[in-house]
Copies of this chain bind each other. A is one copy, B any other.
Amino acid sequence: MTRARGADRRASIVRAAFEVIAERGYRGTSLAAVADRVGLTQQGLMHYFPTKEDLLTAVLETRDEWDLLHFGHAESSMTVNQLADLVDYNATRPGIVQTYTVLSADSVTEDHPARGYFHDRYERVRAGMTQMLERHRDELPPGTTPEQLAPIAIAVLDGLQLQWLLDRSEVDMSAGFRTFLTLLGIKPD
């Protein structure tokens, strides 16, 4: 198989995984179910993604690429309004949010296959968030800096997702994130 065909096949598997996650959630998504969807044997799929964690990490990487295309061309150039829109959009795809929440938390354990991915992703996202807040430096509360606030803003996003997944009738991620922006002195459109 040529390298290009291999990349196409990987992309089809990841697309199938998105569909299965959307329909069945994190726990219902098995390598067997995704293989079935894409017309491969489980053995054939495991040639591309040896474990469920490998496949789901590829799903999250692909989500990051799509989100950046739709909501900002690079993490460092995303605006606060684009980020608020992204939170609204996440509220329409609980399966993906669930996958992110479970996999990012599992990655904190020793030798987890996705640990490197999440370590680097958070480093990158904190840098992007710092640059976003830098453009609002004059609005931020006195004595606070973009560097200080970036990990807190990311914590708010992650933590609200967790509470929302456990009780969607009680917790509103979009409203919560907008309230947090007002604490920073930033008014989204």
Contacts and interface: CB of A to CB of B under 8 A. Distances in A.
Nearest to A119: B166
Given A25-B109, A141-B182, 8 more contacts: A27-B110, A27-B111, A28-B110, A104-B162, A108-B162, A119-B166, A123-B170, A152-B159
A121 to B, nearest CB: 9
Nearest to A125: B163
A173 B180 CA distance: 18
Label chain A's interface by main secondary structure: helix
Contacts of A78: none
Q: How many copies, total?
A: 2
Contact of A154 (B101, B102, B163): B163
Contacts of A126: 163, 170
A171 interface: yes
Interface stretch (A36-44, A49-57, A142-150): A142-150
A174 interface: no
B152 A176 contact: yes
Contacts of A152: 156, 159-160, 176, 179-180, 183
A167 interface: yes
A158 interface: yes
B155 A163 contact: yes
